[in-house]
Amino acid sequence: MKKCLYSFLFIFCVLFSYAQKQKLPNLCNVDSLSKAYAYNQQKREIAYSLKNIGYIYNGDNNIKKSLDYYNKSLKVCEEINDKDGIANLLFNIGKIYNNQGDRKRALDYRDKSTNISAQIKKQQENANSLNKLAYGYNNKGDLKLALNNYYLSLKIFLDINDKQGIINTLNNIGTIYINHGDTKPGTVYYGLSLKLKDEVKKRALAIKEEVNNEDGISYSMNNISTIYFKQQNYRLAKLYSDSALIMAQELHYLKSICKAESLLAKIDSAMAASVFITNAEKEKLLMSAKAHHKQYLMYTDSIGKNKIQKMNEDTSAGKITASQPQQNNQETIRTTNKGNKIEILIFIIGSLLFVFVYLFIKKKRK
């Protein structure tokens, strides 16, 4: 009987140990998820920059160009199904038509925007409910169901581009894996969460800089060009960099000129490396790259000289400011010394006069 009991306990321990060591299922391919998100994020960057250009033109009362860039941005958002971006752009376009007195079209755009915003809100509520379910299952120890609900929640957050929801869910999934001992997938999910947090901060600063920057349009166009260059879409990258360069040159914005020249040098060099062009085209592109690089160095040098000149002017101004108190102090000392000398002279004369009067009165009494 004891042998049977020991055997049973031994088998139970083995099975329990095996169950504990079993890895949790990875219900989605992390690499494909990361790549898909990165691709969509690049598209969103383009859409944001196009929208900002539209916003700047709207501020300058250039309605035609503003609508043109808003619609370009809308097209990119629709391509990646960025519902939040679509709703925002539809609202902005509706606002322009409303200001122009076209009430019917304005209402049409605003209705579309409102409907999409309502869909987003409903999806957010669903995703949050799934997150709560996952949390409950995790507390009960049913990790598979917890993960399943977290993944469903993550999919919705990705669809509506709810960055905070994505960050929190990735973090929750990572925590389950780490606590279970599956450090590899856990670390990956944590990494994605931290990366997205960093991107959100950077994007917030970039948007602020694009909108507040006096050369915001050329700045945005250079940003779009950089993204297309990374995607190896050199034709579009060149188109936007050329536009940024022309605009920056017209307004004499050295930093934007510098960036555009640098980008164009890289784009032409990359295009020259293509096997699908003739030797004559390759030579032309390499010459163009060399010329743009030369211009980039020239403008970089010019910016450097301007900085040095400004520093020298600031230093000179500082010296003048610093010397003024010293001059004032010297004048104050001279005035004080002069006053002291007069006071001493008056005191001596007064003393002598007092002695003289005293002696005269004493002599008279005798």
Residues of the chain scoring pLDDT < 70? 1-37, 199-216, 305-366
Output the pLDDT for position 55. 86
Output the pLDDT for position 86. 93
CB 51 within 8 A of CB 69: yes
Tell whether 194 and 230 lie within a shared domain. no
Tell whether 277 and 171 lie within a shared domain. no
Tell whether 132 and 274 lie within a shared domain. no
Of 210, 226, 254, which one is at a domain's C-terminal end? 210
Tell whether 297 and 246 lie within a shared domain. yes
What is the token pair recorded at 319?
């010296």
Of 189, 210, 231, which one is at a domain's C-terminal end? 210
Task: Please check whether residue 358 lies inside any domain of the structure.
Answer: no
State which residues form the domain around 106: 39-210
Tell whether 170 and 190 lie within a shared domain. yes
Task: Please check whether residue 54 lies inside any domain of the structure.
Answer: yes
Each as own residue / partner, the long-range contacts of residues 51-56 (CB below 8 Å, 24 or more positions apart, any chain) are 51/85, 51/88, 51/89, 51/92, 52/207, 52/210, 52/211, 52/216, 52/220, 53/216, 53/217, 53/220, 53/221, 54/92, 55/92, 55/211, 56/211, 56/216, 56/217, 56/220
State pTM to two decimals: 0.59
226-248 pLDDT, tens digit per residue, is 888 888 888 888 888 888 888 78
Distance, CA of 4 to CA of 134 (rounded, Å): 40
Output the pLDDT for position 204. 60
Task: Please check whether residue 193 lies inside any domain of the structure.
Answer: yes
Tell whether 144 and 250 lie within a shared domain. no
Of 159, 181, 210, which one is at a domain's C-terminal end? 210
Task: Please check whether residue 17 lies inside any domain of the structure.
Answer: no
> What is the distance of C-alpha 332 from the center of its chain?
54
Task: Please check whether residue 128 lies inside any domain of the structure.
Answer: yes
Q: How far is CA 183 from CA 64, 188, 320, 365, in A?
A: 54, 8, 63, 119
Element (H, E) at 297: helix 279-365
The neighbour count for residue 74, using CB atoms within 10 Å, is 22
The neighbour count for residue 328, using CB atoms within 10 Å, is 10
Task: Please check whether residue 32 lies inside any domain of the structure.
Answer: no
